[in-house]
Protein backbone atom coordinates (compact mmCIF):
# COMPACT_ATOMS: atom_id res chain seq x y z
CA UNK A 1 0.00 0.00 0.00
CA UNK A 2 1.28 3.46 -0.91
CA UNK A 3 -0.18 6.68 0.48
CA UNK A 4 0.47 10.40 0.24
CA UNK A 5 -1.85 11.82 2.88
CA UNK A 6 -2.75 15.48 3.13
CA UNK A 7 -0.62 16.58 6.06
CA UNK A 8 -0.89 20.35 6.40
CA UNK A 9 -3.24 22.06 8.83
CA UNK A 10 -6.20 23.91 7.30
CA UNK A 11 -5.28 27.42 6.20
CA UNK A 12 -7.11 28.25 2.99
CA UNK A 13 -10.69 29.50 2.72
CA UNK A 14 -10.94 27.38 -0.48
CA UNK A 15 -12.66 24.14 0.60
CA UNK A 16 -11.37 22.04 -2.33
CA UNK A 17 -7.77 23.12 -1.69
CA UNK A 18 -8.12 22.34 2.01
CA UNK A 19 -9.45 18.85 1.29
CA UNK A 20 -6.60 18.11 -1.15
CA UNK A 21 -3.73 19.56 0.87
CA UNK A 22 -4.81 19.75 4.48
CA UNK A 23 -5.33 17.19 7.15
CA UNK A 24 -8.96 16.18 7.78
CA UNK A 25 -8.02 13.00 9.66
CA UNK A 26 -5.04 13.06 12.07
CA UNK A 27 -1.91 11.52 10.52
CA UNK A 28 -1.78 8.84 13.22
CA UNK A 29 -5.33 7.71 12.38
CA UNK A 30 -4.59 7.81 8.63
CA UNK A 31 -1.58 5.52 9.12
CA UNK A 32 -3.51 3.20 11.43
CA UNK A 33 -6.34 2.81 8.88
CA UNK A 34 -3.89 2.11 6.03
CA UNK A 35 -1.88 -0.42 8.01
CA UNK A 36 -4.99 -2.46 8.82
CA UNK A 37 -5.01 -3.37 5.12
CA UNK A 38 -1.35 -4.50 5.02
CA UNK A 39 -0.72 -8.23 5.51
CA UNK A 40 2.27 -9.69 7.35
CA UNK A 41 5.39 -9.21 5.23
CA UNK A 42 3.43 -6.69 3.16
CA UNK A 43 4.82 -3.29 2.20
CA UNK A 44 3.59 0.15 3.20
CA UNK A 45 4.89 3.36 1.64
CA UNK A 46 4.16 6.93 2.71
CA UNK A 47 5.34 10.43 1.79
CA UNK A 48 5.46 12.81 4.74
CA UNK A 49 7.01 16.14 5.67
CA UNK A 50 10.31 15.72 7.51
CA UNK A 51 8.86 17.51 10.54
CA UNK A 52 6.40 14.64 11.06
CA UNK A 53 8.97 11.82 11.01
CA UNK A 54 8.90 11.11 14.76
CA UNK A 55 5.13 10.72 15.04
CA UNK A 56 5.10 8.56 11.91
CA UNK A 57 7.81 6.22 13.25
CA UNK A 58 5.97 5.89 16.56
CA UNK A 59 2.79 4.91 14.73
CA UNK A 60 4.63 2.41 12.51
CA UNK A 61 6.23 0.74 15.52
CA UNK A 62 2.85 0.51 17.29
CA UNK A 63 1.53 -1.35 14.24
CA UNK A 64 4.28 -4.02 14.07
CA UNK A 65 6.22 -2.61 11.16
CA UNK A 66 9.52 -4.47 11.51
CA UNK A 67 11.85 -2.93 8.92
CA UNK A 68 11.59 0.73 7.97
CA UNK A 69 13.50 2.35 5.11
CA UNK A 70 13.65 6.15 5.11
CA UNK A 71 14.61 7.86 1.86
CA UNK A 72 15.61 11.51 1.73
CA UNK A 73 16.17 13.52 -1.42
CA UNK A 74 18.97 16.05 -1.81
CA UNK A 75 16.82 18.44 -3.82
CA UNK A 76 14.46 19.01 -0.94
CA UNK A 77 14.65 18.19 2.71
CA UNK A 78 11.00 19.08 3.23
CA UNK A 79 9.59 15.62 2.48
CA UNK A 80 10.76 12.07 2.88
CA UNK A 81 9.45 8.70 1.84
CA UNK A 82 9.16 5.78 4.20
CA UNK A 83 8.81 2.17 3.12
CA UNK A 84 8.00 -0.31 5.86
CA UNK A 85 7.52 -4.08 5.99
CA UNK A 86 4.91 -5.48 8.33
CA UNK A 87 6.45 -8.22 10.42
CA UNK A 88 5.46 -8.66 14.03
CA UNK A 89 8.33 -11.09 14.71
CA UNK A 90 11.22 -8.75 13.87
CA UNK A 91 12.24 -5.89 16.16
CA UNK A 92 12.10 -2.42 14.64
CA UNK A 93 15.03 -1.76 12.28
CA UNK A 94 15.51 1.60 10.57
CA UNK A 95 17.59 1.99 7.41
CA UNK A 96 18.30 5.53 6.20
CA UNK A 97 19.04 5.99 2.50
CA UNK A 98 19.60 9.07 0.42
CA UNK A 99 18.36 9.36 -3.14
CA UNK A 100 21.96 8.96 -4.37
CA UNK A 101 22.14 5.49 -2.75
CA UNK A 102 19.60 4.31 -5.31
CA UNK A 103 21.59 5.79 -8.17
CA UNK A 104 24.96 4.35 -7.18
CA UNK A 105 26.28 1.57 -9.46
CA UNK A 106 26.26 -1.89 -7.90
The CATH number given to 2-96 is 3.40.50.150
pLDDT category of residue 66 using cuts at 50, 70 and 90: confident
Report which of residues 12 and 29 the model is more confident about: 29
Please tell me the predicted confidence (pLDDT) of residue 50. 85
pLDDT of residue 106 exceeding 50, the answer is: no
pLDDT of residue 8 exceeding 70, the answer is: no
Alpha carbons 56 and 65: distance in angstroms, whole number: 11
Tell me the domain boundaries of the chain: 2-96
How confident is the prediction for the chain on average, in pLDDT?
A: 75
User: Mean of the pLDDT values across residues 54-74?
Assistant: 82
Cα 40 to Cα 1, 31, 85, distances in angstroms = 12, 16, 8
Record the pTM.
Answer: 0.69
Amino acid sequence: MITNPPFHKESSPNLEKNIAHHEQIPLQKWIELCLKRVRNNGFFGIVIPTARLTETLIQLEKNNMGKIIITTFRETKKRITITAIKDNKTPLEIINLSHSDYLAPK
